[in-house]
Structure 1
Amino acid sequence: MTLSYQSLSEDDYLTINKKLERSDSIEVLKWAYQEFGNELVYSCSFGIEGMVLIDLIYKVNKQAKIIFLDTDFHFKETYELIERVKKKYPSLQISLIKPELTPEEQAEQYGEELWKRNPDQCCQIRKLIPLEKELSLHKAWISGLRREQSPTRANTQFVNQDHRFQSIKICPLIHWTEEEISMYVNLHQLTYNELHDQNYPSIGCEYCTKPVKPGEDPRSGRWSGTTKTECGLHQPK
C-alpha cells in the first residue's frame, strides 16, 4: 500500500509510531524518504533546529526538497543564513515560497500593519495559504517540532496525521532537547542565525518577534503582547 493521508487510519499511525519508537532521527528520515521519496518536502523556518535537521537530511538525501515560507517580513539575518546554507549544501533543492500578495498589495486590501491588528489573518495570508498550496503537491512533509518547545507540541509523534493540510507530518526531532540541539550545532560547526545569540530562541517575522529574557518561555517573544503563540501551521484547521 502506498502511504497517503487518505489511506492511513488512526490505527495505522499507532502501528507506524510503535515500529519507529526506538528509532533515532536518522532512522526516521531514512524511513520517510524510503516511503515517500520525491513526494516528501521539508518546510524549514531556518531556526537552529532547522540547521540540525538540514544536516541530518543531507546525510540521508542530498537532493532533498526544502521550502521556506518567505513572508517578505523576515529579518535580514534569516535571508543571509539561507544563502550560507545554499553554499554549504549546494545539491539541496531549497525554494523560497512567496504569498500571492506583495506587502504593498496586502496593505492596500487589508490596511497597513495587519500583523498588529490581526496577526492571525496576516499569518493566514503569508504563511498558511502558501504552505497549503505547496503541500498539496506532496504526500508528506517534515517539520522540526520538538516536544519540549511548548505544551501544544508535547504529544507530537514521529509520524502525525495532519488534518490542517491533509498530509502526513514527519517530526524526526521530537525527543531532542535544546541542549542537544546546541551540542550538535557546536560539534558539527553548523552555521545558524546569529539572532539566536541575541536572546531570540524562536525567530519568525521581524515585526512579530522580540528577544526573550533569561528564564522566560522561549516562545514568549513571538507575537508578544497577544495571546497568540503559534502561526497556525501546527494547529488543527
Structure 2
Amino acid sequence: MSDDLASGTVSALGGVSMLGGAPEARASAIELYARHTAGHEERLAATLQILREAAAAHPGTIIQATSLGAEDMVVSDLIARHQLPIAIGTLETGVLHAETVALIGQLEARYGLQVDVYRPVQEAVIEFVRKNGERAMYESIALRKGCCGIRKLEPLSRMLAGRSAWVTGLRREQSNARGEARAVEADDQGRAKINPLVDWSWNDVWHYIATHDVPFNPLHDQFMPSIGCAPCTRAIAVGEDFRAGRWWWEDEKAKECGLHVSQAKA
C-alpha cells in the first residue's frame, strides 16, 4: 500500500483529518439522514418487544456490546429509557478516535448507568506492535485480523464470559455480509445474539436519534457512517457503500473484524 493511502486519509494512530487531500468536510448527519419512513413506529415497537423478551429470557446474563456507533446509541437509549435489565459494555481498543471514547462518559452521564469497558491485554498489544510495527494493519489481511484479534476479539470473549445472550446494533442494510442477519440467532458459542434493529433503515436510525435527542459520535457529521478504530476508518464519498470507509484498502469480502462473522466463515 502506498504511504499516501494511509497518511492522506488517516494516520496509523490518529483520526481522519483529510479526505483526498481536501480540507476536512462536515455536514449534519441528522439533516442528511433523519427521515420518517412508513412503518417506523411498527419497527420501533417490534424492536422494543425483542429487547423485552430477551431481557426476560436471560435475566442477569445479557449484555449489549456497543461499538458506540449510531445504531448502538439507539439501542442503549431504548435500554435506558425503558429501564430494561440489560448490561452495557464496550471495547476500548486503545486506538479509537477521541470522539468515540468520549461517548462512554456521555452515555453514563446522560442515562445514569454504568458502561463496562473491556480493553486488550497490554502486553499482547506491545508484543504485536514490537514484532509487526504500528502500520501492520495495512500490510496484510492476516496482520490486520491479528490486530483485531488482540484488540477486539479477545476483550469481547471476556465481555461475553458467563453471558447467555448479547445485543448488537447489526442491520441487514449495512452490508452484504450482514444481509442474512436475523433478529434472534445463535453465535458460535451457542449464546443468543440479539439484533433488534435488523430491519431498520439508516433513515430509521437517525429519525430516532433526532426525535429522542440521542447523543451520537460527531464523526458521523464527517461522512463516517461506520466507525471503528482510527487507523482503519475513513470518511466515505458520495455513492460509496455504507462500510466503504472501513479497511478501505482491502478486498470487499474481507471487511469484517470477526465480531459478527462465524469462525467457520472467518
| TM-score normalised over the length of structure 1 | 0.85
Q: Tell me the equivalent position of 2:260.
A: 234
Hey, what's the Cα distance between the residues in 2 that align with 1:166 and 1:23?
27
* Equivalent residue, structure 1, for 2:91: 69
Q: Hey, what's the Cα distance between the residues in 1 that align with 2:177 and 2:218?
A: 27
Alpha-carbon separation, structure 2, partners of 1:202 and 1:95: 22
Q: Relative CO higher for 1 or 2, CA cutoff 8 Å, sep ≥ 6?
A: 2
Counterpart secondary structure, 1:24 = helix
The one-letter code matched in structure 1 to 2:201 is T
Task: Tell me how far apart the structure 2 counterparts of residues 210 and 78 of structure 1 sit (CA, whole Å).
Answer: 14
SS at match of 1:73: coil
Gaps in structure 1 of 5+ consecutive residues: 1-20
The total of aligned residue pairs comes to: 215
Amino acid at match of 2:242: P
Q: Given the alignment, which residue of 65, 76, 81 partners 1:54? A: 76
2:167 paired residue number: 142
Aligned-residue identity in percent: 35
In structure 1, how many angstroms separate the alpha carbons of the residues matched to 2:65 and 2:53? 18
Q: Confirm whether residue 168 of structure 1 aligns to residue 192 of structure 2.
A: yes
CA contact 2:55–2:85 (8 Å) conserved in 1: no
Does the C-alpha gap of structure 1 residues 190 and 23 become closer, same or farther in structure 2, counting only changes over 3 Å? Answer: closer
Q: Structure 2-normalised TM-score?
A: 0.76
Task: Give yes or no for contact 1:30–1:60 (8 Å, CA) kept in 2.
Answer: no
Shift of the alpha carbon at 1:111? 3.5
**Higher deviation after alignment, 70-79 or 52-61:** 52-61
How far apart, CA to CA, are the structure 2 residues paired with 1:173 and 1:128?
22
Matches within 5 A, 1:173-184: 173-184=197-208
> 2:146 aligned with 1:121, yes or no?
yes
Deviates more, 1:93-102 or 1:107-116: 107-116
SS in structure 2 at match of 1:38: coil
Structure 1: distance between partners of 2:84 and 2:195: 19
What SS does the aligned partner of 1:58 have?
helix
Q: Deviations over 1:14-66 (max 9, x none)?
A: xxxxxxx9961000000000010210000000000011111111133355311
Q: Within 5 A, what are the aligned runs for 1:1-237?
A: 24-61=46-83, 64-90=86-112, 92-101=113-122, 103-117=125-139, 118-163=143-188, 165-227=189-251, 228-237=254-263
Q: CA deviation at 1:154?
A: 1.3
Distance in 2 (alpha carbons) for counterparts of 1:100 and 1:162: 24
Distance 1:22 1:41, change over 3 A: closer
